[in-house]
Amino acid sequence: MGRPRTVSDETILEAARAVFLEQGPAASTTAIAERVGLSQAALFKRFGTKHDLMFKALAPPGIPDFIPVLEAGPLEGVPARTQLRDVARVIARFFRDMVPCLMVLRTSDMDPVTMMEQFDVPPPVRAQMAVTGWFTRAMDAGLVRKGDPIALTFSFLGAFYMRAFLTHITRQPSDDDALDTYVDSVVESLWQGLAPESP
């Protein structure tokens, strides 16, 4: 019987993510192994190649954490505006944390199309479907004004992705309070066109 693992895969992936974000795709796997107290051989035994390790550390999850929230909603008894703000905060944080990872992957030898082929449903497509579904159900229930749910989805997601992208490439700090203020402003602006007409 082999010895129990003293370092979890998640701990290794967190360390790898930190090192790749600090040093880029040229980062040494030795630095990652040293950070978690493993040999380089042990690291490769767990994750195969540096390419595999980088992908597992930096690629988006197959189901981002905001997807189940969207798929379960809109919820009864909770104002649509409140639900929209709450899920928008989760989405904004997701993009803030994910965009730097995607930028490192993009500057490596990984082709975005090939990267997305690793998923049954690519995470960006799944996100678009989930948000569009939420808006469609909200419109059908009379919680928001009728409109084009797909156009609304791209406006909604784009507002948070573009902020994360520009914040990253211009190296601006983005703490939770500043992000929440931005999210609230976006939701309030969108709500001006989404609020259902008074009976």
Structural domain includes residue 3: no
pLDDT digits (tens, 9 = 90+) for 32-80: 999 999 988 989 899 988 989 999 999 999 889 999 999 999 999 999 9
Same domain, 72 and 169: yes
Is the pLDDT confidence value at 1 over 60?
A: no
10 Å CB burial of residue 41 (0-12, 13-18, 19+) is exposed
Structural domain of residue 22, as residue ranges?
A: 9-57
Q: 73 to each of 68, 77, 133, how far by Cα in Å?
A: 9, 11, 9
CATH number of the domain enclosing 190 = 1.10.357
10 Å CB burial of residue 146 (0-12, 13-18, 19+) is exposed
Q: Tell me, what's the pLDDT at 66?
A: 93
Structure tokens at 32: 């990652």
Same domain, 44 and 70: no
User: What is the distance between the alpha carbons of residues 83 and 121, in angstroms, rounded to a whole number?
Assistant: 25
Structural domain includes residue 4: no
| Average pLDDT over all residues of the chain | 91
**pLDDT band (50, 70, 90) for residue 109:** confident
